[in-house]
Amino acid sequence: MKSPITSDRLQKPLAALRAAGRDGLTPIELNRICQSTRASSDLSELRQHGILIEKEYVGKSVGGRRVFRYRLASILHMEIL
């Protein structure tokens, strides 16, 4: 399996999360930016490759679904230091 740094499919969400910084992104935002419908799967695979991604509950959608925001953990920890 390719490293998340060189995999074209995983590079897009990783770059999007880096660009979002501490604001992070929801899966819907990631899908739109990456032109994908697999944001949750891609995030899971990035985690399997050792990328630290934090998840924050931000509320419920109009339809009642839980909404989460994802951020690269290393960005959050670097800003604290």
CATH number at residue 50: 1.10.10.10
Which residues span the domain enclosing 48?
8-80
Helix or strand holding residue 58 (H, E): strand 53-60
The helix/strand/coil state of 35 is coil
pLDDT, tens only, 3-62: 546 788 889 999 999 999 999 999 999 999 999 888 889 999 998 888 899 999 999 999
- Residue whose structure tokens are 């930016």: 33
Is residue 46 situated within a structural domain?
yes
Neighbours of 80 (CB within 10 A): 5
Is residue 52 situated within a structural domain?
yes
Q: Indicate the number of domains in the chain.
A: 1
Q: Which residues pair with 59 in a beta bridge?
A: 67
Report field, pTM of the whole predicted structure over 0.95: no
Is residue 3 situated within a structural domain?
no
Is residue 2 situated within a structural domain?
no
Q: Which two tokens mark 76?
A: 């959050």
